[in-house]
Structure 1
Amino acid sequence: MAYTWDNRVSFVVRYLYDIDNNGYLDSHDFQCLALRSCVLEGKGDCSAARLQKYQHIMLSLWEEIAQLADFDKVPDYDGMITVEEFKQAVKNSCVGKKYEDFPQAMKAFIESNFKMIDINQDGVIGIEEFRYDCVQRMVVEDIKVIDDAFNSLLNDDDRKKGGITVSRYQELFAQFLGDITDSCQAKYLFGPLEI
């Protein structure tokens, strides 16, 4: 049940986008996400240029998500997106599609997320970086569960490269959101998920 498409998309809202944990998305989440991304990529440094880059990426993502999720197109849009609205937007724009066909701002977010996880900036997410990313978001009591999740993501080429490259990460992220099956290989992209 933890790896259903519905739960995977809920995970994205809860752990990647809803920074203030109020149960819905709004522009404040993405402003905070820009600062968080800047600090994480900079390993504590927050240069004005990097912050401006992330503000552009995250606010563009917010605008794109808001446009995709505003189904009734009412003039008095409340500026908030519920989990259910987000799921419908993902279903409409990502399910059954490859990374190249995703909305542009979402692709920019995925690429920036890779950079945050790739701590040593070698172009590959290794097991240590994957572990670090997982334990930042959720409570896990056994490292083996995280390691098993990481290893299940790897194909032979990934093993040769020592982990997940940006192109592979993009492919896996697209599967995580776009494959509605519970057996999707990318279901472990963010480690062991909770229900």
Structure 2
Amino acid sequence: MAYSWDNRVAFVVRYLYDIDNNGYLDAHDFHCLALRTCVLEGKGDCSATRLQKYQHIMLSLWEEIAQLADFDKDGVVTVEEFKNAVQNSCIGRKYEDFPQALKAFIETNFRMIDINTDGIIGIEEFRYDCVQRMVVEDIKEIDEAFNSLLNVSSRSY
């Protein structure tokens, strides 16, 4: 099932946070995320002060995520470990009750995708984000994915 909960969480790990595409999350990914966030949120600008702020935020975020999800304490978080952490920490809870690390994870990505800062991710912003992260042959694929996110009946939690 393409839109299963497992596939959605695996997608988040592989395409949103595994910046170096090595199949797992580690401190290196979050170091790279700091730079990405600084540049994207600054719309190309990356001041040393803002970069330092994001490096601090992302390192703290990595430490919290590793604490929540690195079950075998090997310094990496696999897709399975991340799924287990999300399931243990979030399923059946209100967003405000999520661990701070996971809320920061979500909010940081949302801000990077919300180009016009209106608090809503429209189809143009979704398209822009998708083509930055993966190879897509047909815009219809992206539009179908966007529309499936709007269709409550397609969700499986």
TM-score, normalised via structure 2 length:
0.86
The residue number in structure 1 matching 2:44 is 44
Choose between structure 1 and 2 for higher RCO, CA contacts under 8 A separated by at least 6 residues.
1
Matched, 1:114 2:85: no
* Cα displacement (A) at 1:137: 1.5
RMSD (CA atoms): 2.3
Question: Aligned letter for 2:50?
Answer: R
* Cα 1:99/1:35, change in 2 over 3 Å: same
The residue number in structure 2 matching 1:160 is none
Which deviations, in whole Å up to 9, do the C-alpha atoms of 1:34-57 show, x marking residues without a partner? 111111111211112321232232
> Separation in 2 of the partners of 1:123 and 1:86?
27
Identity %: 84
Question: Aligned letter for 1:121?
Answer: T
* Cα displacement (A) at 1:99: 1.5
> Separation in 2 of the partners of 1:15 and 1:121?
22
TM-score, normalised via structure 1 length:
0.71
The residue number in structure 1 matching 2:127 is 131
The residue number in structure 1 matching 2:155 is 184
Gaps of 5+ in 2: none
> Separation in 1 of the partners of 2:70 and 2:22?
19
Aligned length: 157
Gaps of 5+ in 1: 156-171, 173-181, 188-195
Which deviations, in whole Å up to 9, do the C-alpha atoms of 1:136-186 show, x marking residues without a partner? 12222221232233234348xxxxxxxxxxxxxxxx9xxxxxxxxx9417x
> Separation in 2 of the partners of 1:45 and 1:135?
21
The residue number in structure 1 matching 2:6 is 6
* Cα 1:129/1:70, change in 2 over 3 Å: closer
The residue number in structure 1 matching 2:58 is 58
